[in-house]
Amino acid sequence: MPLPPSTPPDSARKSPARLPIRAVRELAYVEVASTELTRDINRDLILEYIRSSQPVSRVDLARLSGLQPSTVSSIVEQLKEERWIQEGGAVKTPRGRRPTMLSLNDDLLILVADVRPTHAVLAVVDLNGRFLSRRVVPLSSKVQRSIEALAEAMNALREQFPLKSFEGIGLSVQGRVEPQSNRLTLAPNLNWKSYDVCGELSRRVGGLRVELENDANACLLSELWFGHLDGLRNVVLVAISEGVGAAVLAEGRLISGRGGLAGEFGHISVDASGPLCGCGQHGCWEMFASSRAVLRYYAELTGNNEKLTMSELTTLAVSNDPAALRALERQSVAIGRGLRMINAALAPEVILFAGDITTVWDISHTIIERECRAGLLTGSAPKLMSIGDGELALLRGAAAVVLQRHSGYYRSAHGKRERD
Q: What is the pLDDT of residues 185-224, one digit of tens each?
A: 877 778 787 789 999 999 999 999 999 998 888 888 888 8
| 371: pLDDT strictly greater than 90 | yes
* Residue 14 burial (CB count, 10 A): 12
Both 206 and 347 in one domain: the answer is no
Whether residue 128 is found in the same domain as residue 200: yes
Strands (E), 91-243: 100-104, 108-115, 119-126, 131-138, 165-173, 176-178, 183-186, 210-214, 235-240
Dihedrals phi, psi of 268, to nearest 5 degrees:
-95, 125
Q: What is the pLDDT of residues 132-178, one digit of tens each?
A: 999 999 999 888 999 999 999 999 999 999 999 999 999 998 888 88
Q: Residue 197: exposed, middle, or buried by beta-carbon count in 10 A (0-12, 13-18, 19+)?
A: buried
**What's the gap between Cα 79 and its chain centre?**
24
What span, in angstroms and rounded, lies between the C-alpha atoms of 408 and 226? 18
**Which of 49-63, 154-168, 356-370 comes out lowest in average pLDDT?**
49-63
Q: Please state the domain count of the chain.
A: 3
Is 187 or 412 the better-scoring residue by pLDDT? 187
- Choose one of 104, 136, 169: the last residue of a domain: 104
Q: Quick one: 144 and 258 in the same domain?
A: no
The number of residues in the chain equals 420
Domain of residue 70 covers 10-104
What pTM did the predictor assign? 0.76
Asked whether 228 and 212 are in contact (CB, 8 A), the reply is: no
CATH label of the domain that carries residue 121: 3.30.420.40
The pLDDT value recorded for residue 416 is 46
- The answer to whether residues 381 and 245 belong to one domain is yes
Q: Do 277 and 240 lie in a common domain?
A: yes
Q: Say yes or no: 76 and 121 in one domain.
A: no
**Statement to judge: residues 380 and 261 lie in one domain:** yes
350/406 same-domain check? no
Give the CATH number for residue 63.
1.10.10.10
- Alpha carbons 340 and 122: distance in angstroms, whole number: 34
CB distance 282 to 272 below 8 Å = yes
Taking residues 367-377, what's their average pLDDT?
90
Q: What are phi and psi of 78, to 5 degrees?
A: -65, -45
Angle, helices 143-159 vs 197-204, to 10°: value is 40
- 45, 5 Cβ separation under 8 angstroms: no
Amino acid sitting at position 416: K
Please give the pLDDT value at position 408.
57
**How many helices (H) and strands (E) are present in the chain, helices listed first?**
14, 15
Q: What angle do CA 217, 223, 225 make, to 5 degrees?
A: 95
Q: Which of 250, 280, 248 is nearest to 267 (CA)?
A: 280
Residue at a domain's end among 55, 80, 104: 104
Same domain, 237 and 119: no
Same domain, 139 and 238: no
Say what the pLDDT of residue 90 is. Answer: 60
How would you classify residue 400: left for phi > 0, otherwise alpha for psi between -120 and 50, otherwise beta? alpha
Residue with more model confidence, 240 or 192: 240
Q: Do residues 182 and 236 both lie within one domain? A: no
Give the model's pLDDT for residue 53. Answer: 87
Last residue of a domain, one of 104, 133, 153: 104
Phi, psi of 8, deg, nearest 5: -80, 165
Lowest mean pLDDT among 64-78, 88-102, 231-245, 352-366: 88-102
**Within this chain, do residues 157 and 302 fall inside the same structural domain, yes or no?**
no
Instruction: Give tens-digit pLDDT for 95-122.
Output: 556 788 999 999 999 999 999 888 999 9
- H/E run at residue 384: strand 383-386
The confidence score (pLDDT) of residue 93 equals 55
- The region of weakest confidence among 160-174, 305-319, 368-382 is 368-382
| pLDDT over threshold 50, residue 31 | no
| pLDDT the model gives residue 185 | 80
One-character DSSP codes across 147-166: HHHHHHHHHHHHHT-TTSEE
